[in-house]
Structure 1
Amino acid sequence: MADEVPERSIKVTDPRALRAYAHPLRMRLIGLLRGEGPMTATQAAARLDDNVPNCSFHLRQLAKYGFAERVPGADGRERPWRATTQYTSWDDDSDDPAMKSAADQLNSLMLAQYVQRAQGYLAVRADEPVEWRAAAGFGDALLHVTAAELREVTEGIDALLARYDERIADPAKRPPGSRPVMIIQMALPRGAVPTEGQRAGSDHD
């Protein structure tokens, strides 16, 4: 039903919620719910090779801060959990020390998980079909842009990826031969921040 489809994104503005989200198992749990749909703590524990009480506790913590919620179960016994949104966002430009610290903690955890996923893919890449090896992989590009232009680039990427959102919630919309693919996005400025004079001079180049 349409009213059961999660919202696209939740924006976190409370550093306490961001710190609560920055936990390895909680991020795996919310990723599982977003990728595979509602499931019970028992099902989640089996998928993540963890124990039920531990998963149940962390699901309740996710619910406390608005990341997950209960939904009606098929048999009325253990009620499944679902993610309230498909994505989580937060401001990295906050001047609040608590928010900056919480964001740094979360970004560090996310980077570690990205590296782990990339290493996991490399471990099985040799066994992938040729067409998937050719389509997937790593790459980078060096751009010379202003902060405003960089935001345009990342917003353009977000808009492109949003075209595939409906396939997350509705398996019927996934074309034959499709499979889950994680797109990892990083925008990493290099070198010193330009001075005011350098910024002004660039307008006349």
Structure 2
Amino acid sequence: MSEELPPRAVKVTDPRALRAYAHPLRMRLIGLLRGEGPMTATQAAARLDDNVPNCSFHLRQLAKYGFAERVPGADGRERPWRATTLYTSWDDDSDDPDMRAATDQINSVMLGVYLQRGQDYLAIRADEPVEWRVAAGFGDTLLHVTAAELRELTEQVEALLARYDERITDPAKRPPGSRPVTFVQMALPRAVVPPGGPAGGDGP
């Protein structure tokens, strides 16, 4: 039988926990645990090209705030770690200055992580099979929507992506030829254009 799927998401409401999560290596560690299953600090260090003491320290910090945990009942001196949920979420509508600062910090770290992933992909893109070069890549679309419409659109995208959740922890659910893909989601409102100004278009 497949491993029981962990809860889909945890919503972080404590700014201290959010700041603890807002660290490039910690976010990479959680991504590794979620994408490739439980592993020891030694295994994680090898996958991330880091050292074992550093990964061990940051895994303990993630566990302190509930993002990771030791695998129950695992044998061996160095027990594997696992992520406690598939995703981490937080609200950006808080009036608390500490929470707003924490969300700004984590969003900045996430942007840096995603930028690095994009650069890593470009470095190997020329060697990718043509079917994957066509399927993957970058793009953007300009929308004119209300805040409510944007929220609805985001929820629809999240619901569509959730259809693939079970493949994260159950390799038997993955069809032949599938591979891990990072789907980056950003919705970035632009400055308000004054009446009679340019309508805008695709592109930066």
- The answer to whether the superposition gives a TM-score over 0.5 is yes
Shift of 1:135: 0.6
Q: Specify which structure has the bigger relative contact order, considering alpha-carbon pairs within 8 angstroms and separated by 6 or more residues.
A: 2
Counterpart in 2 of 1:124? 124
Counterpart in 2 of 1:172? 172
> Partners in 2 of 1:71 and 1:117 — Cα distance?
28
Counterpart in 1 of 2:186? 186
Q: Map 1:53-202; keep pairs closer than 5 Å.
A: 53-72=53-72, 74-192=74-192
Percent identity over paired residues: 84
Count residues with an aligned counterpart: 194
Structure 2 regions of 5+ residues with no counterpart? 195-204
Shift of 1:75: 3.3
11-20 or 184-193, which deviates more: 184-193
Q: Secondary structure at the match of 1:180?
A: coil
- Write the letter of the residue equivalent to 2:121: Y
Q: RMSD across aligned C-alpha pairs, in angstroms?
A: 1.6
Counterpart in 2 of 1:201? none
Q: Is the 8 A contact 2:68 2:82 kept in 1?
A: yes
> Partners in 2 of 1:5 and 1:82 — Cα distance?
12
Counterpart in 1 of 2:32? 32
Q: Secondary structure at the match of 1:10?
A: strand
Q: Is the 8 A contact 1:70 1:81 kept in 2?
A: yes
> Partners in 1 of 2:93 and 2:61 — Cα distance?
26
| TM score, norm. by length of structure 1 | 0.90
After superposition, what is the alpha-carbon deviation per residue over 1:122-179, rounded to whole angstroms, capped at 9, x for unaligned? 1111111111111111111111110000001100000000000000010000000000
Counterpart in 2 of 1:15? 15
Shift of 1:74: 4.8
> Partners in 2 of 1:92 and 1:49 — Cα distance?
33
Structure 1 regions of 5+ residues with no counterpart? 195-205
Q: Which has the higher helix share?
A: 1
